[in-house]
Amino acid sequence: MLPKQIYDERELLLRIAEGDERAFAVLFDRYRLPIYMHVLSILKSPARAEEITQDIFLKIWNKRRELSEILSFENYLYIITRNYTISDLRKKFKVGGPVPDSGSDWSPEQQLQFKELNGRLGKIIDRLPPRRKQVFIMSRLEDKTHQQIASELGISTGTVNQQLIAALSFVRAELRNHPDLTVLAFIHAIVHF
């Protein structure tokens, strides 16, 4: 049984790895609110932030046997949170994707902002050299692996990597000229790797 005191994180992780639900509850209580607030600050949707927070902790519980090998739980938790949040943003901000309509949970202002950002990013991508543009679209917008892209285009995975790095550098540099916080979220959603 876990007394109601601050526990050594290492001990908590070991207990959770062994399936101790009370230890998991302590960990959940310790990190739930900071994770929720972090996700909320990016997504601006309380319902979605709560869903992602729950998904993150469900994933941790499902992979609990691996916790005994983790050296820094905070880093591990940050990486999972970042990946879930970026994945959610990618679903929302898809170049060429439909602009959310009045039936969505987006305000008219958010819909307009999305449309403007989507157009701005589309213009930036159009300025890439043709092969680089093709690699960028296949990787970031069609979610294809480097191997799939290489196979479809008849080039090496190394060439795919080089083209993608150059494309991402160009797109990031162009987007940095727009300090708007939504653009920063957009940068992370589309060009973060």
Extents of the domains making up the chain: 9-92, 108-191
Distance between CA 177 and CA 72 in Å, rounded? Answer: 35
Give the model's pLDDT for residue 91. Answer: 67
Give the model's pLDDT for residue 54. Answer: 92
For the domain covering 9-92, report its CATH number: 1.10.1740.10
Closest CA to 89 of 43, 137, 36, 142: 43
For the domain covering 108-191, report its CATH number: 1.10.10.10
pTM greater than the 0.75 cutoff: no
The pair of structure tokens assigned to 8 is: 């050594």
Give the model's pLDDT for residue 193. Answer: 41
Check if the beta carbon of residue 14 is closer than 8 Å to that of residue 26: no
Task: Using DSSP, state whether 21 is helix, strand or coil.
Answer: helix
Residues 6+ apart with CB under 8 A from 118: 93, 95, 96, 97, 99
Give the model's pLDDT for residue 24. Answer: 92
Closest CA to 82 of 191, 183, 188, 190: 188
Residues 6+ apart with CB under 8 A from 22: 1, 2
pLDDT (tens, 9 = 90+) of the chain, 193 residues, equals 444 444 588 899 999 999 999 999 999 999 999 999 988 887 777 888 899 999 999 999 999 999 988 888 888 998 888 888 877 776 665 555 555 554 455 667 766 766 777 777 788 888 999 999 999 888 877 778 888 999 999 999 899 989 988 988 887 777 776 555 344 445 444 444 4
Residue 19 CB neighbours (<10 A) = 11
